Structure formats: structure tokens, C-alpha cells
Amino acid sequence: MDESPTASLCPRCRGPLSEFEGDLGAGSCLALARDVRICRGCGVDEAVRDAAGLAPVPPGEWPVLEEHLTWNDAMNTGR
């Protein structure tokens, strides 16, 4: 799996890694050095899971083919 910043697909969801020229995506919070680049949507999903107290999706379970969680999702869970 190519997890470099120049890879064209996000290793977490297999969607586009970048949305525009120069977009490097996000660094996965599951990598200690945050050197695994993921798309912005996956970055938000990881942050929402953390803020809502939900378990992260470990790299062994990637690609995640479900919809990304958003802040609105977290607010609607009542947490």
C-alpha cells in the first residue's frame, strides 16, 4: 500500500487523497509520526471519533468504505 504524500488514493478510504493542487491531506492520528497521509474527510472522521469517544478504525481494517463521520454526526449522538 502506497502511503506517501504523492499517492493518488487515500489508504484509509480509497477516495482521492487531495481535493486540489497542493493539498497534502491529513496525517493519520493512528500513526505515531503522523506520516501516513489520509484525505481530509478521513482526517475529520478520525478527529470526530476521538472527540466522541468512539474507537478508531485501525489500519488493519482499512480501507473503510463507509461514509465519513462529521461533527454534525457527533453532535447528534448526544455525546
3-state SS assignment for residue 77: coil
- Residue 8's nearest CA partner among 44, 42, 37 is 37
Would you state the pLDDT for residue 56? 92
Would you state the pLDDT for residue 77? 61
pLDDT at residue 79 is higher than 90: no
**What pTM, to 2 d.p., does this model score?**
0.78
For the stretch 2-61, pLDDT in tens is: 444 445 899 999 999 998 888 888 999 888 777 899 999 999 999 999 998 999 999 999
Amino acid 66 reads: E
Domain extent listing, the chain: 1-79
Would you state the pLDDT for residue 7? 58
Would you state the pLDDT for residue 12? 95
Cell matching residue 64: 473503510
Burial letters 4-33, b for 16+ CB under 10 A, else e: eeeeeebbbbebebbeeeeeebbbbeeeee
Would you state the pLDDT for residue 1? 47
